[in-house]
Chain A
Amino acid sequence: MEIDEVYPGGELDKLEGEQINSLIAQSQQPIPDPDEWLDEELKRNILLTSVDAILDWGRRSSLWPVFCFPACCAFEFMTTAASRFDISRFGMEIVRASPRQADLMITAGTLTWKMAPQVKRIYDQMAEPKWVLAMGACAISGGIFRSSYSVVPGYNRIIPVDVYVPGCPPRPEALLYGISMLHKKIAKMSIAPKGK
């Protein structure tokens, strides 16, 4: 079974091309950021508060990133994970190849429309609760490549983003500050259903 017998005549390429075109058509507006729980008043009962505190402490103290590194910011992430700016002190040095075992996606690099369906697939495969940290100018808004024909203007067109870290590429200190902001955000989460 050669490749051409399984997918004859470039059929697979056409299917993937249609998938990309449909993703472009449905991503014309950015997805709003998920932070509606941040401003809620703390109307919770005492039992849930301590349970929340323990769960949030557990979740934020060992966020495992998933392996998805398109471009240059990947190297700043690797130097953050390496010996000088150690990310292992936050419990994050294990970069999981399988998205089922990860709970943080650090988007390090420019996203092109050709790559977008794959990134969305990885995001969908991650188990709840999951967070996304947009690293670098290309991830926030397309960066220096915004007016190009094949670049997605920011990851929040296809996946909801929690924390934005600007820079091109952001220094490791900036990335660590972004991660600590994400920790603060997680500390405010609650397992009670969102009020209304």
Chain B
Amino acid sequence: METTKEVIVKTEPFVVNIGPVHPSTHGVFRMKTTLDGEVVVDMEPVFGYLHRGIEKLAEERTYTGCIPLTDRLDYLASMSNNLAYCLAVEKLAGVAVPERAEYIRVIMAELQRIASHLVAVGAFLNDCGAFMTPILYMLRERERILDLFDMVCGQRLTYNYMRVGGVSQDIPEEFIPRPEKIS
């Protein structure tokens, strides 16, 4: 068995800008990487390409008026963002929530979590190499959950459903047997 001779190619570190628009950076995120061959030696992240000034806009609005702004922070999990904001305001103001509303909130938050994780798993497998198959399967399952949200509040992505002290409207009768059939 002959031994292969290692030829060491001398490489110099090289600065590559993986810019804000790139197919694998989900969303806009820029990385100034210093590469030595294929090894990343140094990296400086640059962000702020989607800084919309939500904190400043919230200064001009009422407590209920800030809820649509919180939807757009993490737009894959809008119910959870709304819920976190409403819980914080309720704790500060000492507002009690009726029991039915608490149950509805938890059901919505859990369904939202499943929907968000479906996208996460699909996108992750997409990046691992399987080009489009996993994300198409996951988005198909997510459509069923989005149908439920459509039935409850009329929107598919940014819901504006939670309010300080409960939810904005009651769930319709057709909704009740549906979540069990999702799986």
* Chain A residues engaging chain B, CB cutoff 8 angstroms: 1-3, 6, 67-72, 75-76, 78-79, 82-84, 97, 109-110, 112, 114-115, 118-119, 122, 144-145, 147-151, 168-169, 171
Can you name 11 A-B residue pairings with CB atoms under 8 Å? A3-B34, A67-B21, A71-B72, A72-B158, A75-B157, A79-B142, A112-B50, A115-B20, A115-B28, A115-B50, A144-B57
- Which of B21, B44, B72 has a CB less than 8 Å from the CB of A72? B72
- The total of chain B residues at the interface (CB under 8 A) is 42
Interface status of B63 (Cβ within 8 A of chain A): no
* Chain B residues engaging chain A, CB cutoff 8 angstroms: 12-15, 19-23, 27-28, 32, 34, 42, 44, 48-54, 56-57, 60, 68-69, 72, 75-76, 119, 135-137, 139-140, 142-143, 146, 156-158
Q: A1-B15, A2-B34, A144-B69 are in contact. Are A150 and B20 (CB under 8 A)?
A: no
Q: Which of B15, B19, B50 has the most CB of A within 10 A?
A: B50
- How many contacting A-B pairs (Cβ < 8 A)? 106
* Contact residues in A for B56 (Cβ distance below 8 Å): 148-149
* Contact residues in A for B23 (Cβ distance below 8 Å): 67, 97
* Contact residues in B for A69 (Cβ distance below 8 Å): 27
Q: Tell me if A3 and B50 are in contact (CB < 8 A).
A: no
Q: Tell me if B15 and A70 are in contact (CB < 8 A).
A: no
Q: A3-B32, A67-B21, A149-B56 are in contact. Are A171 and B156 (CB under 8 A)?
A: yes
Q: Tell me if B57 and A148 are in contact (CB < 8 A).
A: yes
Q: Cα distance A168–B79 when bound, in Å?
A: 16
Q: Tell me if B156 and A76 are in contact (CB < 8 A).
A: yes
7 smallest CB-CB distances across A and B, nearest first, come from A72-B75, A148-B53, A82-B139, A115-B49, A83-B140, A97-B23, A145-B52
